Structure 1
Amino acid sequence: MTASEPTITVRQAKASDEDAVVGFTTDTWSDREGNDYIPRVFSEWIETDGETQRTFVLDVNDGEDIAGICQAVLLSEYEGWAQGLRVNPTYRGRGVSKQLSNAMFNWCRSQGATVVRAMVFSWNVAGLGQSRSVGFEPTTEFRFTHPEPNADSEPKLTVKPDATAAWSFWQESATRDALRGIALDEVESWSLSALTRAQLVAAADEDRLLTVFDGKTVGFTYRTRTFEQQTNSDSDSNSGSDSDTETWAEYAVAAWESESAAEAVYRAIEADAASIGADRTRVLIPESARWVGDTAAARVPIADEPDFVVSANLTDPTIGTR
């Protein structure tokens, strides 16, 4: 290391890092519509760090600057999730992102996790390349669909909150195979974890499960959470201006076996979302011509682009050392 090269080390983030982090994350994707979410959530990340969550930064010269940020979250006793990895443009090209990735891997391993997953936008070629270089492998790809809440929607097939039928269908479904058994996590937003029978039982008990029958089980979905979001949150999230809010209903996954079953699943979602007063919805489906085509045939709006999920096997001792 020459005298002109900075000393960059990984440490846990602290509240005093906020100005520096906001400074280099505000315009992360200046060529894309919408701003980075890091400035909105940084203070919350610091407040909620604990046994199941750790936020890291790259410290430059013992507090002189911040070269990067990331966060690791434990979603279950064996599943970790990596998110929010950003590198300050001033320090790009030095390979410092590997320090952040290794910190997340090693922390998740120390907490008992055997796998770490992450989501990469399909258009983020640099991010996908970085993830592969540190040990992440391709896992699956998905797309969001957005059926519109409608109290008048009526599925042509029978819909009941049957957890056992939904679980049996999931176990044998092509959707499960395509998604490698994962769906939207119930607690951590914008993350995916293994779908469990207990989650479907809880959803049925709380009237959030929609299992579709046509003599036999032909599909299901379940509402995983609802949340409020400012309508101008992408464009004016840091302006401090007042804005209207929308209620979103999120469905962890939608699975079906035929075009008619897909239509019934979506009509059930539209009615369910309307029943809780939701303004908009977000539903996860696998990315392929089959599921996207069935969605289009049901006349349901579809996101413009898919997203990728990558994963790293923490039982491999080389993960976290690259």
Structure 2
Amino acid sequence: MSPTVRQARLDDYDDIVAFATEVWADREDTVDYIPEVFESWVESDGPTQRTVVAEVGGTAAGLCQAVMLTDHEAWFQGIRVDPDHRGEGLGVAMVHDLFEWASDRGATVGRNMVFSWNDAGLGQSITTGFEPITSFRWAHPSPRATDSEADGDGLIVEADPAAAWSYWTGSEGRTTLSGLALDPGQTWALSELTRERLHRLAEEQAVFAVKGDGTRGMACRVRETVDPTADETLAEYAVGTWDDRDAARALFDAIRTDAAELGVDGTRVLIPETPRHVAQAASVRADLADWPDFVLAADLT
């Protein structure tokens, strides 16, 4: 039976929850966030957001959402298919419906994110037309007061968006991440970090530039949020990148202090998935996620 792709409705909730709880049943430490957000997704759909389901025999057996992040960047998330209906083309049907929707609204690129351990999700993304472009890892330095103004190696950390931008444009981190960082408006989404956005974050959130014989690292806070799967408050940092271990230590100390001043429970810092960045972050005790995440993209022109 061919699936019908249609706009999601609130009365799809029970169907969605029933299969969402089974998608990662083999991973005891992984909790799917879809049951927590589905209703708010449906209620907030509009000109720049579309949530769809794939209906089979009157039952919602698949889910996907697309969001316009900027005038040319679309983000695809929440791609789920009932394990009982895998291999039936539900994912392809939903994603292609949303490709058309996003293209009609001016998107030239669509991206999504898949956990690196999620073999089914990676395979589904490739099948639906996405190609891998970059990977990153979450660092979780614990909030605590540190002496972030001065470092024993002569490094200082300043709120200087101009210096941070200059560093970012020529950094290994920017190249590795294809110019992407956490999006300020959409949790769990990445979009292009622009000069204008970085200066706006300096005004509304926080920007850090590590200085010492030139600028040697940068980071920027993008928001405070609540993790619905862990019931804790987090400070999220759109990106963090640096030249060497000393710069990493200074940068993460500044982030720890910033988070402590905000009074949050924890942090989430997006860092490039390179051996150097991961190893140096580990060496300065910025707790790391066990796995990287992959970002994939589709040409919508």
TM-score normalised by the chain length of structure 1:
0.89
Q: Residues of 1 paired with 2:227 and 2:54: CA distance?
A: 31
For residues 71-112 of structure 1, give each alpha carbon's deviation from its aligned partner in whole angstroms, at most 9, with x where no partner exists: 001110000001111111222221221101101211110111
1:110 aligned partner, one-letter code: D
Q: Residues of 2 paired with 1:49 and 1:77: CA distance?
A: 17
Match of 2:116 in 1: 122
Partner of 2:187, secondary structure, is coil
Match of 1:45 in 2: 41
How many Å apart are 1:229 and its aligned residue?
Answer: 3.4
2:241 aligned partner, one-letter code: A
Q: Residues of 2 paired with 1:286 and 1:140: CA distance?
A: 9
Q: Does 1:250 align with 2:236?
A: yes
Match of 2:171 in 1: 173
Q: Is the 8 A contact 2:23 2:82 kept in 1?
A: no
Q: Does 1:85 align with 2:79?
A: yes
Match of 1:240 in 2: none
| Matched-pair identity in % | 48
Structure 1 residue runs of 5 or longer lacking an equivalent are: 1-5, 235-244, 316-322
Q: Residues of 2 paired with 1:303 and 1:35: CA distance?
A: 15
How many Å apart are 1:153 and its aligned residue?
Answer: 4.1
For residues 95-145 of structure 1, give each alpha carbon's deviation from its aligned partner in whole angstroms, at most 9, with x where no partner exists: 221101101211110111000000011011121111112211111000000
Q: Is the 8 A contact 2:114 2:293 kept in 1?
A: yes
2:31 aligned partner, one-letter code: N
Partner of 2:238, secondary structure, is strand
Q: Residues of 2 paired with 1:87 and 1:299: CA distance?
A: 38
Q: Does 1:214 align with 2:212?
A: yes
Q: Residues of 2 paired with 1:123 and 1:23: CA distance?
A: 22
Match of 1:60 in 2: 56
Match of 1:14 in 2: 9
Q: How does 1:1-322 map to 2 (within 5 A)?
A: 6-32=1-27, 33-61=29-57, 64-154=58-148, 155-156=150-151, 157-206=155-204, 208-229=206-227, 233=229, 245-315=231-301
For residues 180-204 of structure 1, give each alpha carbon's deviation from its aligned partner in whole angstroms, at most 9, with x where no partner exists: 0000111111110000111211222
Q: Residues of 1 paired with 2:205 and 2:83: CA distance?
A: 47
Aligned length: 296
How many Å apart are 1:35 and its aligned residue?
Answer: 2.0
Q: Residues of 2 paired with 1:66 and 1:300: CA distance?
A: 41
Q: Which moved more, 1:151-160 or 1:128-137?
A: 151-160
Q: Residues of 1 paired with 2:117 and 2:53: CA distance?
A: 25
Q: Residues of 1 paired with 2:170 and 2:193: CA distance?
A: 13
How many Å apart are 1:151 and its aligned residue?
Answer: 1.1
Q: Residues of 1 paired with 2:143 and 2:62: CA distance?
A: 40
TM-score normalised by the chain length of structure 2:
0.95
RMSD: 1.3
Partner of 2:15, secondary structure, is helix
